[in-house]
Structures are given as C-alpha cells and as structure tokens.
Structure 1
C-alpha cells in the first residue's frame, strides 16, 4: 500500500515513462514500416 506522497510522485512518473516508451515504440515501428515497405525482400528479414 502506498502513502499519499509516494503515490503523487511515483504514479505520474510511471505514467510519463509509459507514455515515453509507447511513443518510442510507435516511432520505431513507424520508421521500420516506412523504411522497409517499398522493398519486400528486406521485410522478410524480420
């Protein structure tokens, strides 16, 4: 169980980190799709 101070610090931090990770993953997958879509041969590597 968290106390209030712990909650107010930890939860927003975790949320921010989760958002950041999510953005990174989205950007990475977007880059990969964008880079490799024109060439099906390269896509088969994944």
Structure 2
C-alpha cells in the first residue's frame, strides 16, 4: 500500500526538476550518509 501523498510528492519532484532533483538527492543523502559517516568517524578515531 502506497500513501497517495507520497505519490504526489514524487510526481512533483519529477515534474519540477529545477529544485526537485537536488531536493531528492538531498533526501536520499540524508537517509544514506549518516550510516556511512558514523562508520568513517569510528574509523578515523581508530587511526588517530
């Protein structure tokens, strides 16, 4: 089951690439990067 609100948001992002694409990439980065950054922080602390 997909929430229609999310479908509208996705379509808005696709229809308006001027701000939609950077915003979409930002959201994806916000979801993915924290896990990687946490690993990098631990790794850098082990090196120092």
Q: What TM-score bracket applies, with the shorter chain setting the length?
A: 0.3 to 0.5
Compute the TM-score of the two structures, normalised by the length of structure 1: 0.41
Query: Counting helix residues as a fraction of each chain, which structure ranks higher?
Result: 2
Compute the TM-score of the two structures, normalised by the length of structure 2: 0.39
Structure with larger RCO (C-alpha < 8 A, sep 6+): 2
Larger-gyration structure (1/2): 1
